[in-house]
A and B are shown apart, each in its own frame.
Chain A
Amino acid sequence: MNQEYIDADEKIDIFLVEADYALKYVNRGVSADVKDLGLTDDDMSQMYEYTKEVMTSTDGKIKGVSWQATPGLFAYRRDIAKEVLGTDEPDKVQEVISDWTKFDETAAKMKDKGYFMLAGYDDSYRTFSNNVSSKWVDDSNAIVIDDAIKQWVDQTKTYTDKGYNNKASLWSDEWAKEQSPEGKTFGFFYSTWGIDFTLLGNSLATAEEDGGKLEKGNGLYGEWAVTYGPQSYFWGGTWICAYSQTDNKEVIAKLMKRLTCDGETAKKITEGTQDFTNNVAAMEELANSDFQSAFLGGQNHLKLFAEVAKNIKMDKTTAYDQGLNESFQGAMKDYFNPDSKDVDTYEKALENFYEKALAKYPDLKKPA
Chain B
Amino acid sequence: MAFGKAKRKSKMVSYAKWGYIFLIPFVAAFIVFQLYPLFTTFYYSFFEYFKPQVSDTFVGPNFVGLENYKTLFTNSKILVYLKNTVIMWILGFIPQIIISLLFAYWFTNNRLNLKRTGIFKSIIYMPNLIMASAFAMLMFSLFSNSDTGPINSILTMMGFSPIRALDTVGGTWGVVALMNFMMWFGNTTILLMAAMMGLNYSLIEAAEIDGASQLQIFFKITLPLIKPVLIYVLITSLIGGLQMFDVPQILTNGKGSPNNSAMTVIMYLNLNLTSRNYGVAGAISVFMFVICSVFSLIVYYFFSRNSASSSLRKKV
Whether chain B is bound by chain A comes out as yes
Interface of A with B (CB < 8 Å)?
1, 23-24, 27-29, 167-168, 172-174, 176-177, 319-320, 323, 330, 333-334, 337, 339-340, 342-343, 352, 354-356, 358-363
On chain A, the residues within 8 Å of B261 by CB distance are 340
Contacts A24-B54, A173-B145; A339 near B76 (Cβ below 8 A): no
The interface residues of chain B lying within 8 Å CB-to-CB of A333 are 257-258
Assess whether B169 is interfacial by the CB under 8 Å rule.
Answer: yes
Asked whether, in the complex, the Cβ of A339 is within 8 Å of the Cβ of B50, the reply is: no
Knowing that A29-B56, A177-B147, A352-B260 touch, tell me 6 more A-B residue pairs with CB under 8 angstroms: A320-B53, A334-B259, A343-B259, A355-B77, A359-B268, A362-B50
Cβ 8 A contact of B257, one of A168, A177, A334:
A334
Q: Are A361 and B53 in contact (CB under 8 A)?
A: yes
Return the chain B residue nearest A323 by Cβ. Answer: B53
Query: Using Cβ atoms and an 8 Å threshold, which residues of chain A touch B268?
Result: 359
Supposing A360-B271, A361-B275 touch, asked if A352 and B259 sit within 8 A by C-beta, the answer is: yes
Does any Cβ of A come within 8 Å of B148's Cβ?
Answer: yes
19 A-B residue pairings within 8 Å (CB atoms): A23-B54, A28-B55, A29-B56, A168-B145, A172-B145, A174-B144, A323-B53, A334-B257, A334-B258, A340-B168, A340-B169, A355-B77, A356-B271, A359-B275, A361-B52, A362-B52, A362-B280, A363-B50, A363-B54
Task: Give every chain B residue within 8 A of A167 (Cβ-Cβ).
Answer: 164, 167
Q: Are A362 and B258 in contact (CB under 8 A)?
A: no
Given contacts A340-B258, A363-B59, contact A319 B272 (CB under 8 A): no
Q: Nearest chain-A residue to B171 (Cβ)?
A: A339
Q: How many interface contacts (CB-CB < 8 Å) are there between A and B?
A: 86
Asked whether B53 lies within 8 Å of A319 as measured between CB atoms, the reply is yes
Q: How far is the CA of A363 from the CA of B58 in the complex (A)?
A: 11
Q: A168-B145, A334-B258 are in contact. Are A339 and B169 (CB under 8 A)?
A: yes
**Smallest CB gap from A327: residue in B:** B255
Partner of B258, one of A174, A339, A361: A339
Pick from B144, B146, B147, B167: contact of A339, CB below 8 A.
B167
Contact B148 A177 (CB under 8 A): yes
Taking a contact as CB atoms under 8 Å apart, the answer to whether B56 and A359 are in contact is no
CB-CB under 8 A from A334, the residues of chain B are: 257-260
Q: Judge whether A174 and B145 touch: CB under 8 Å.
A: yes
The answer to whether B275 and A360 touch across the interface, beta carbons within 8 angstroms, is yes
Evaluate contact between B259 and A174: CB separation under 8 angstroms.
no
The answer, yes or no, to whether B45 is at the interface (CB within 8 Å) is: no
Q: Which residues of B contact A355 (CB under 8 A)?
A: 75-77
How many Å lie between the Cα of A337 and that of B259 in the bound state?
10
Interface of B is mostly: loop
**How many residues of chain B are within 8 Å of chain A by beta carbon?**
33
Let me know if B95 is at the binding interface, CB within 8 A: no
Chain B residue with Cβ nearest A343: B259
Query: Measured between alpha carbons, how far is A333 from B164 in the docked complex, in Å?
Result: 14
Closest 9 CB pairs of A and B: A363-B52, A173-B146, A362-B50, A340-B259, A334-B259, A173-B144, A362-B277, A339-B168, A174-B146
Asked if A362 and B167 make an inter-chain contact with CB atoms under 8 angstroms apart, the answer reads no
Q: How far is the CA of A1 from the CA of B274 in the complex (A)?
A: 14
Task: Assess whether A337 is in contact with B53, with CB atoms less than 8 Å apart.
Answer: no
Residues of B within 8 A of A1 (CB): 56
* Cβ-closest chain B residue relative to A141: B52
Give the residues from 162 to 196 in chain B that come closer than 8 angstroms, CB to CB, to chain A: 164, 167-169
- Bound complex: CA A226 to CA B268 (Å): 43
Within the complex, the shortest CB–CB distance from A347 to chain B, in Å, comes to: 14
Which A residues touch B164, using CB under 8 A? 167, 174, 339
The answer to whether A173 touches B258, judged by C-beta atoms less than 8 angstroms apart, is: no
Instruction: Pick the most buried of B59, B144, B146, B147: most chain A CB atoms within 10 A of its CB.
Output: B146
The 8 Å CB contact of B76, one of A174, A177, A319, A359, is A359
Report the Cα distance A333→B168, complex, angstroms. Answer: 12
B63 to chain A, nearest CB (A): 16
* Interface pair A342/B259, CB less than 8 Å apart: yes
Of A27, A320, A361, chain B has the most CB atoms within 10 Å of the CB of: A361
Q: Give, as a whole number of angstroms, the nearest-CB distance from A87 to chain B.
A: 30
Whose C-beta in chain B lies nearest to the C-beta of A366?
Answer: B75
B253 → chain A, closest Cβ, in Å? 10
Q: Which residue on B lies nearest to A349, using beta carbons?
A: B259
A176 to B55 alpha-carbon distance, docked (Å): 37
CB closest residue in chain B, given A334: B259
Bound complex: CA of A362 vs CA of B277, how far in Å? 6
Please name all residues of chain B whose beta carbon is closer than 8 Å to the beta carbon of A358 when the two chains form the complex: 75
Contact partners of B52 in chain A: CB under 8 A: 361-363
* Bound complex: CA A130 to CA B148 (Å): 34
Given contacts A174-B147, A339-B168, A340-B169, contact A363 B259 (CB under 8 A): no
Q: What is the CA–CA distance of A212 and B268 in the complex, to the nearest angstrom?
A: 45
B54 touches A27 (CB 8 A): yes
- What residues of A have a CB within 8 angstroms of the CB of B76 in the complex? 355, 359
Neighbouring B residues of A23 by C-beta, 8 Å: 54
Interface centre among A1, A352, A362 (most CB of B within 10 A): A362
Q: Which residues of A contact B59 (CB under 8 A)?
A: 363
Chain A residues near B75 (CB-CB < 8 A) = 354-355, 358
Contact B146 A177 (CB under 8 A): yes
Q: How far is the CB of B284 from chain A (nearest CB, A)?
A: 10
Q: Mark B236-255, 1 if CB is under 8 A from A, else 0.
A: 00000000000000000001
Contacting residues, chain A, for B53 (C-beta < 8 A): 24, 319-320, 323, 361, 363
CA distance A362 to B60 in the complex (A): 12
**A14–B260 CA distance with the chains assembled, in angstroms:** 37
Chain A residues contacting B145 (CB-CB under 8 Å) are: 168, 172-174
Taking the closest CB of chain B, its distance from the CB of A366, in whole angstroms, is: 8
Kindly state the separation between the CA atoms of A233 and B147 in the bound complex, as whole angstroms. Answer: 32
Q: Which residue of A lies closest to B253 (CB)?
A: A330
Question: Which A residues touch B144, using CB under 8 A?
Answer: 172-174
